[in-house]
């Protein structure tokens, strides 16, 4: 790890931004998956991110299909 990256990740603004995004992702996952807070926060971070990406793509595909059907 270089000093530059250490400085970047130890910067309070960056930490606060990361925590804000993480909190939003946790609540989004809870809403989409209908899981409890404890279940979601116990997920590995990569699994949480993978789930959110998968669900986002799925919802986007559904939206496009609905648009095609109404056109």
Domain boundaries, the chain: 3-70
Q: pLDDT confidence of 45, banded at 50, 70, 90?
A: very high
Residue 53 has pLDDT above 90, yes or no: yes
Q: Is the whole-model pTM more than 0.95? A: no
Q: What are phi and psi of 6, to 5 degrees?
A: -60, -45
State how far the Cα of 24 lies from the Cα of 59, in Å rounded to an integer.
Answer: 18
62, 44 contact by CB (below 8 A): no
Average pLDDT, whole number, for the chain? 89
pLDDT at 1: 44
* DSSP single-letter state for residue 34: T
pLDDT at 55: 97
- Residue range 8-36: average pLDDT? 90
Residue 66 in 3-state DSSP? helix
């Amino acid at each position: 790890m270089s000093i530059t990256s250490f400085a970047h990740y130890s910067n309070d603004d960056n930490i606060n931004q990361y925590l804000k995004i993480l909190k939003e992702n946790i609540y989004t996952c809870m809403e989409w998956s209908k899981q409890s807070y404890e279940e979601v926060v116990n997920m590995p971070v990569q699994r949480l991110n993978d789930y959110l990406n998968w669900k986002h793509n799925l919802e986007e595909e559904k939206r496009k299909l609905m648009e095609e059907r109404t056109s």
